[in-house]
Each structure stands twice: as C-alpha cells, then as structure tokens.
C-alpha cells in the first residue's frame, strides 16, 4: 500500500470514528486498527493526533462545500430556489442513519477551548459558509443581512436536529427561510 492509499484509509477511518465516538475518545491505536495500517505508518503520515484532526477537518470542509454547491447548483438558475436548496440539503443529511450533528461544532465543543488551531479551522469553516450564503443572497438581490439570518437558521437546524434526533428541524428552518426571503424581497 502506498502513502496515498494509506492516507485515504487513515482519513476515512478517522472521519468515521471521530464523528461517531468523539475526538477525545478515539486513540491512535483505534485508528491504526480501523485503517488497517501499522502504528509506525500512521505516525509517519500523521505525527500527532492533532495533525490527523486538522486533516480530517480540512477534508470534511472540502466535502461539505462541494456537496452543498452541487445541491444548490442542481436547483437551477432561480436565486430563491438556490437559497432554499441549502435547507433541502440539510434535510437529506439529517435523515441519514449516521447523522451526529456538525463535525465542526463537535470538534469545537471537544477541542476548541484548548486547541486554538482547531478553533481557527472551525471558525473559518463557519465563515466560509456565511460567505457562500452571502453570495446566494447577492444573486437574489436582497440585503446582505439576509445572509446572516439564513446562516443562523441553517446552523440552528443542525444543532437542533443533532440534539433532538428529529430531521424536521430542516423543514422548519426552510419555512422560516421562505418567510425571511419573501419579506426581504418585498421590502
């Protein structure tokens, strides 16, 4: 197995274990076993657990942005439909058997208070989402304040769905987003 394959296996195992069990609960030996690599190989590619956490978060950021953009783009050219597609994307995610909330909020909750690098990665991920929403709001021609409001709805839906186990939070956020969008466009 070459380094590319070993990294892929390690990151895949780390994503699954960190998301399911938490960052603090997963040790390097657990990751070694799940990835099917030696401990020496694991430490050779990721010298510390923090290196692995940051790599996992970077990969999750890329996956999130790509899949969200694909969903929004599939909604077509209508700016309102593109904004509302964000909430449809969330609803589909919340309905998966593996949904355990936002991996970034989970990382921040566990590590953000003691690890400034993780806190910075999480903050940048959330700021990136807000910039994305601002771009969609600009397409709509609505005031930029709407982007902040819609981002808060999406973030709140993620937390609510994770805690309650009820994916209906996405549909509720979507209905609230429709009200805000319509009011913003009517103004």
Domain boundaries, the chain: 1-47, 57-186
Q: How far apart are CA 74 and CA 87, in angstroms?
A: 13
pLDDT at 101: 94
Q: How wide is the angle at C-alpha 62 spanned by C-alphas 57 and 63, nearest 5°?
A: 95
Farthest-apart Cα atoms in the chain, separation = 62
Record the pTM. 0.92
> What is the homologous superfamily of the domain 1-47 according to CATH?
Homeodomain-like (1.10.10.60)
CATH architecture designation of domain 57-186: Orthogonal Bundle (1.10)
pLDDT at 1: 80
pLDDT at 50: 93
pLDDT at 113: 83
- Residue 101, both tokens: 């909330």
Per-residue pLDDT of the chain (187 residues; tens, 9 = 90+): 888 999 999 999 999 999 999 998 999 999 999 999 999 999 999 999 999 999 999 999 999 999 999 999 999 999 999 999 999 999 999 999 999 999 999 999 999 888 999 999 999 999 999 999 999 999 999 999 999 999 999 999 999 999 999 999 999 999 999 999 999 988 6
Nearest CA to 18 out of 93, 97, 102 is that of 102
């Amino acid at each position: 197995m070459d380094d590319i394959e070993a990294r892929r296996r390690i990151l895949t195992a780390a994503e699954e274990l960190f998301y399911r069990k938490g960052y603090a609960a997963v040790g390097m030996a657990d990751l070694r076993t799940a990835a099917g690599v030696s401990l020496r190989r694991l430490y050779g590619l990721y010298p510390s657990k923090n290196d692995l956490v940051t790599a996992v978060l970077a990969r999750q950021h890329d996956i999130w942005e790509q899949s969200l953009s694909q969903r929004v783009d599939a909604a077509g050219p209508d700016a309102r439909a593109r904004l509302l597609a964000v909430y449809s994307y969330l609803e589909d995610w919340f309905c998966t058997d593996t949904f355990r909330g936002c991996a970034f909020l989970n990382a921040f909750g566990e590590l953000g208070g003691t690890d400034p690098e993780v806190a910075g990665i999480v903050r940048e991920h959330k700021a990136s989402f807000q910039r994305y929403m601002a771009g969609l709001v600009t397409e709509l021609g609505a005031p930029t304040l709407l982007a902040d409001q819609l981002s808060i709805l999406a973030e709140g839906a993620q937390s609510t769905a994770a805690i309650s186990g009820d994916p209906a939070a996405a549909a509720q956020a979507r209905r609230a987003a429709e009200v805000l969008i319509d009011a913003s466009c009517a103004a």
